[in-house]
Amino acid sequence: MKTLAGIILFHFSFLAQGQELIPLKEMEVIKPLSQYAIEEWTMNNGLPNNAVMDITKTSEGFMWLATFNGLVRFDGREFKVFNRSNTPEFVTNSISSLVVDGNDQLWVGTNGGGLVKYHQGEFTRVHTDSMRGSIITALEEGTEGAIWIGTRSGLEKLENGSISKIRESELSAVNVTALFFDYKERLWVGTATKGIFVLDENATVNISQNQGLQSNVIHAVFIDSQDNIWVGTDQGVSLIRSDGTIERMDPVTGAPSGFTNRFLEDTDGNIWLGSNDGLRRFNQSFELVDYELELGHHVIQSLYQDDEENIWAGTYRAGLQRLNQSKFLLLGEDEGLSNEVINVTYSDEMIFWAGSDDGLIRLKEGMIETFKLGRRSAGNRIRDIFRDSQGRLWLCTYGGLAQFDKGKVVQRFTVRDGLCSNNTRRIVEDGEGSLWIGTANGLSRFKDGKFETYGVESGLSDKFIMSLFIDRTNTLWVGTNGGGTYKFQEGRFRQALSSDAANDIVFNMFQDGNDAIWISTNRGVIFINDSLEFNITPKHGLLSNNIFQVLVDNSGQAWFTSDHGIMRTSMSDITNLLTEKADKLLDFRIFDRSDGLRTGNITAASISGHTKEGEIWFCTIKGIAILDSENIPTNEIRANTLMTKLMADDEEYPTGEWAVLPAGNRRLEFHYTGFSYYAPEKIQYKYKLENFDQNWIDAGTRRTAYYTNIPPGDYEFKVMAANNDGLWSETAASIHLTQKAYFYQTAWFFVIVGVLLVAFGAFLYYLRVRQLKRRNFHLAKLVHERTRDIQYQNQAIIVQKEELKQLNTVKNKLLSVISHDLRGPIAAVSGLLGLLKSGHLNYEELITQSNRLNNEVHSLTYLLDNLLSWSKTQMHGIKLKKENVALKKIVDENLKTTLPMSEQKQIKVDNHVPEDCYVQTDVNFLGLVIRNLVVNAIKFTHEKGQIYLVAENQDGNVLISVNDNGVGMTKEDLEKLFDTKSHYSKMGTANEAGTGIGLLLCKEFIELEGGKIWAESKKGKGSSFKFILKQGSPQTVHAKRS
């Protein structure tokens, strides 16, 4: 992250416009510790225990804290505790040390509970005799994934699942306090009584007080990037330099004098030291972080730097602390200001001025100096600073108008000199050289040494003046404290805005480069130009109605100061808003304490300014906050996202698996988190449920998504996060789920209902046709009996024919929704019935057509039988009733039903099944299979062909074959034969149609029986359909089924 320049020197340049501020000279120096923002987490805001003994982080994004109340997982917003109460692998709640190895496994050392491993959501306790009851004091990963374990009773090593104790005599029973591997893969072992031991493959070397260490009581060992060894002892710090010399760090230089518990080197090469008297940073010299903590709460036990360059410190009594560099350059009491409540900033020749609640502050050549303007506090409370065209510097105070020169007040004007009030607030100069002074009791004009007063009699409805402004036409604008905005024209003040603004409190005004006027009020911001007056309010995204000031920087960004902090949006967005005149939200970026401000409170009614170089100087109640608007430090680390929980009707499902939700589920909750620790409270989220949401849904900072009554189907929930600077994660965290359906929600249910509706319509059609036939017969009889009424009867016949025509149209509409395969047989039956109805057939033709009708009805019955059986299988409504069956008899019975079809094509069908062949099966299903296979063979066998059925016993099973010498099939046809997706169907040798489900039905029944079916064929040579059933026995043999 880019840092702002340090506060070392100031460079001032003369600027012509009075309210523009001077730029700071940027210098590549170390940023003072006072420029770090400190955030704290204790038991008061969610931390389970205030003693944080160690800190680390796993790759998924969670931070892990070792505390006396268990292992704590932290995502920047919430803490989750793992201890004896919810994790049986922990036999104690006291956690002492943590380390994450190269496989992203978290190793947890405990005080008396041994070693515990955490990986991918699971805890495992390391069960060994040596670890039982061990007090672990240090953990470190060595080469090839070995974990080195320091305990109160020696040094141990975990490798390949087993633990071995280091048996060197010096380390056999020593109290190990610290472990660290250097760049030469040597292990440095700190002890509680014997100094340091350095282990390599060849020897063990002891470094102790005899060689120059501060003490033999070691608390921490650390190797920096320069190969220097930092040693923390109970009596301060020793430094073993890369050349082997040992230096004791003198407390006079700022080094710790007592217990030094942890070291850390940050990305800038600074060394951070955690000790019993606080946190220090070292870069050529020591600096102590100034904590506002009670005595005894400064003990630092652990240090960690994350990938966003935040410094984390775990304390013994004061919880967890985070230090991050501010986006702002801050000037307050720590930097030399005598008073931090700043009301105005102003610059002129080589000097920067600030008006506070307790005097005038001058910053010149890096020096900060405060000037008291008098003994009374009112005279030192400065509200405005202005240098007029004659070079005089004027100060508006609560003790009158003061002229300041050469470090002192050279002249002061009060009510005794003609001012309206001593409470002066604003000053401007018009084009004629007159000074206008706004006070709490009216407006004064100062010209030629005399004051002239303007009040209610001049047109002002309120005498409390909040702001003054001279526009480019030399017109004076006046903002009041509840009386609105006025313009001074022709010697009087007139309301400048509409009646809606008549009671506004006007904090500030300015004119932009397009001559538009921006008025900051207690009703938001009012924009006014020649053709438009528009009020920007919280409904457009403002944090508050109370806007103190609007500034526009060099890059076209508008900055708003308010009682809720600082906001920024682009002028192009504002222009679009003004053009559309709609209640659309502006895209505001909020700057607050999370960005490094010491307070979110901008000084009320203050005047902040900006330089030509883009620096903005904000007035706050905690000093001056300076921001380089053209080079704002940006957090380049994108926020990772993680699914943490899936809840369905109060039942939790694992997030790492495909979740299958039961039918009838009503409520879904997706819990997720994002990892960005610079400002976790500012992480923004968006999510989308694929196959349900059309677009991404903006969730703001909310970390739970809710859905109710989603339809059955497969879904993928995705979530992304943006860090505090709006950079979105590159990939989304996701979870897949299936919402199961009730039967009435499935497609099959709608298919069956559709088929039933079609069948019912066909039945109604049949009844209607039957009714019409009877009526026609009656009419024909009447024709013969009543020849006298022939004309009337003929007319009735014409009417009836028209009705039949209409009914035929209805029939066509009904049959259009029936499946293609049922349409053919029904159409054939309809045609034959029409011939029979005509009465013009002789006896032989009648017999022939009756046989055809019988065949078509038989075919239709066969098709409907298949459809109904198949629908039962799809509804899983089939129940097998197995029994022992004499196969030959069953074949004979079912061949009789196919005889009309085979005789029609003069095909010979032979049953070669042995008499003593028995199978164990459901008789009805077996009959259906045999009929389907024989009908299929007849369909694809030419006239006068041959079909035969054979069977043979095979190892407890019976292989049954239906063979023909028909047209045969190609290899491609065979592959599609039993494929449920292809719905394979072809026309027979006599153009017979089929449903395409007969063979699928056979396959389902045979597999339901536990058997197998397949086909063998060659194109032009015929086909053989074979299936296997369980062999039966002669006992209780089914003879004939009624």
Element housing 551 (H / E): strand 547-552
pLDDT at 602 over 60: yes
pLDDT at 874 over 50: no
Find tokens 């020649």 and name the residue: 530
pLDDT greater at residue 826 or residue 17 = 826
Compute CA 808 distance to the chain's CA centroid, rounded to the nearest angstrom. Answer: 61
Of 73-82, 689-698, 744-753, 977-986, the range with the lowest mean pLDDT is: 977-986
pLDDT at 490: 86
Q: Residue 246's beta-bridge partner residues?
A: 240
Contacts of 870 (CB under 8 A, 6+ apart): 997, 1000, 1001, 1004
Phi, psi torsion values for 360, nearest 5 degrees: -100, 130
Of 50-59, 171-180, 391-400, the range with the lowest mean pLDDT is: 171-180
pLDDT at 604: 87
Surface-to-core class of residue 300, CB atoms within 10 Å of its CB (0-12 exposed, 13-18 middle, 19+ buried): buried
Q: String of b and e for 562-584 (b: at least 16 CB within 10 Å)?
A: bbbbbbbbbbebbeebeeeeeee
Please report, for the domain that includes residue 686, its CATH number. 2.60.40.10
Positive or negative CA dihedral for 390, 393, 396, 399? negative
Same domain, 702 and 753: no
Structural domains of the chain, count: 4
pLDDT at 127: 73
With vertex at residue 655, the alpha carbon angle to CA 653 and CA 660, rounded to the nearest 5 degrees, is 50
Phi, psi torsion values for 697, nearest 5 degrees: -105, 125
pLDDT at 384 over 70: yes
Length of the chain as a residue count: 1042
Please report, for the domain that includes residue 91, its CATH number. 2.130.10.10
Q: Which of 166, 184, 215 finishes a domain?
A: 166
Query: For residue 291, is it within any domain?
Result: no
pLDDT at 798 over 90: no
What is d(CA 618, CA 343) in angstroms, rounded to the nearest whole number?
A: 9
Contacts of 666 (CB under 8 A, 6+ apart): 649, 708, 709
Same domain, 762 and 733: no
Same domain, 726 and 751: no
Average pLDDT over residues 19-29: 40
Considering only CA atoms, which of 601, 595, 594 is closest in space to residue 561? 601
Please report, for the domain that includes residue 957, its CATH number. 3.30.565.10
pLDDT at 882: 85
Query: For residue 22, is it within any domain?
Result: no
Query: For residue 512, is it within any domain?
Result: no
Same domain, 813 and 953: no
Considering only CA atoms, which of 811, 734, 729 is closest in space to residue 765? 811
- 3 state SS of 453: strand
pLDDT at 732 over 90: yes
Query: For residue 189, is it within any domain?
Result: no
Average pLDDT over residues 983-991: 76
Query: For residue 229, is it within any domain?
Result: no
pLDDT greater at residue 823 or residue 724 = 724
Q: What letter represents residue 778's amino acid?
A: H
Phi, psi torsion values for 561, nearest 5 degrees: -100, 140
Contacts of 638 (CB under 8 A, 6+ apart): 676, 723, 727, 728, 729, 730
- Residues 75-83: contacts with CB under 8 Å, at least 24 apart: 75/673, 75/674, 75/675, 75/680, 76/675, 76/676, 76/677, 76/680, 76/681, 76/683, 77/673, 77/680, 77/681, 77/703, 78/46, 78/673, 79/41, 79/46, 79/47, 79/48, 81/48, 82/123
DSSP secondary structure of 797-866: HHHHHHHHHHHHHHHHHHHHTS-HHHHHHHHHHHHHHHHHHH----HHHHHHHHHHHHHHHHHHHHHHHH
pLDDT at 91 over 60: yes
What is d(CA 75, CA 58) in angstroms, rounded to the nearest whole number?
A: 11
pLDDT at 381 over 50: yes
Same domain, 860 and 926: no
What is d(CA 481, CA 462) in angstroms, rounded to the nearest whole number?
A: 7
Find tokens 């457009």 and name the residue: 540
Instruction: Give me 75's structure tokens.
Output: 């995502």
Element housing 767 (H / E): helix 747-785
Considering only CA atoms, which of 776, 563, 596 is closest in space to residue 678? 596
Instruction: Give me 569's structure tokens.
Output: 């949006």
**Parallel, antiparallel, or unpaired: how do β-strands 659-661 and 733-739 relate?**
parallel
What is d(CA 287, CA 277) in angstroms, rounded to the nearest whole number?
A: 12
Average pLDDT over residues 603-610: 86
What is d(CA 215, CA 210) in angstroms, rounded to the nearest whole number?
A: 9
What is d(CA 1023, CA 898) in angstroms, rounded to the nearest whole number?
A: 18
Of 282-296, 447-461, 485-499, 839-853, the range with the lowest mean pLDDT is: 839-853
Query: For residue 138, is it within any domain?
Result: yes
Instruction: Give me 1013's structure tokens.
Output: 């079916």
| Residue ranges making up the domain that contains 733 | 640-743
- 3 state SS of 518: strand
pLDDT at 877 over 80: no
Same domain, 736 and 837: no
Q: pLDDT class for 998, splitting at 50, 70, 90?
A: confident
pLDDT greater at residue 331 or residue 990 = 331
Q: pLDDT class for 603, splitting at 50, 70, 90?
A: confident
- C-alpha distances in angstroms, 121 versus 85, 274, 293, 894? 17, 31, 36, 62
pLDDT at 1039: 43
Q: Which range has the top average pLDDT, 412-421, 786-795, 851-860, 901-910?
A: 412-421
Average pLDDT over residues 318-329: 92
Q: What letter represents residue 616's amino acid?
A: I
Give pLDDT tens digits for 194-211: 999 999 888 889 999 999
pLDDT at 813 over 60: no
Q: Where are the alpha helices (DSSP H) in 292-376?
A: none
Of 248-257, 313-322, 773-782, 868-877, the range with the lowest mean pLDDT is: 868-877
Phi, psi torsion values for 681, nearest 5 degrees: -70, -10
pLDDT at 1036: 61
**598: left (phi > 0), else alpha (psi -120 to 50), else beta?**
alpha
DSSP secondary structure of 247-302: EEPPGGGT--SS-EEEEEE-TTS-EEEEETTEEEEESSSEEE------TT---EEE
Same domain, 794 and 887: no
Give pLDDT tens digits for 366-378: 788 899 998 888 8
What is d(CA 359, CA 1005) in angstroms, rounded to the nearest whole number?
A: 99
pLDDT greater at residue 811 or residue 912 = 912
pLDDT at 33: 86
Give pLDDT tens digits for 949-967: 999 998 889 999 999 999 9
How is the chain split among helix, strand and coil, in percent rounded to 5?
Answer: 20, 40, 40
Q: Which of 723, 743, 763 finishes a domain?
A: 743
What's the pTM? 0.69
**Parallel, antiparallel, or unpaired: how do β-strands 271-275 and 278-282 relate?**
antiparallel
Same domain, 857 and 893: no
pLDDT at 269 over 50: yes
pLDDT greater at residue 743 or residue 28 = 743
Longest dimension (CA), the chain: 146
Q: pLDDT class for 917, splitting at 50, 70, 90?
A: very high
Same domain, 825 and 858: yes
Phi, psi torsion values for 830, nearest 5 degrees: -60, -40
Mean pLDDT of the chain: 85
Same domain, 926 and 985: yes
Eight-class DSSP state of 196: E
Same domain, 798 and 938: no
pLDDT at 434 over 90: yes
Q: Which of 867, 894, 910 finishes a domain?
A: 867
In the chain, the N- to C-terminal Cα span, in Å, equals 88
What is d(CA 198, CA 970) in angstroms, rounded to the nearest whole number?
A: 79
What is d(CA 187, CA 180) in angstroms, rounded to the nearest whole number?
A: 6
pLDDT at 3 over 70: no
pLDDT at 436 over 70: yes
Query: For residue 1000, is it within any domain?
Result: yes
Query: pLDDT exceeding 90 applies to what percent of the chain?
Result: 55
Of 159-168, 173-182, 231-240, 701-710, the range with the lowest mean pLDDT is: 159-168
With vertex at residue 52, the alpha carbon angle to CA 50 and CA 56, rounded to the nearest 5 degrees, is 145
Element housing 760 (H / E): helix 747-785
Query: For residue 526, is it within any domain?
Result: no
pLDDT at 984: 66
Same domain, 813 and 906: no
pLDDT at 1007: 85
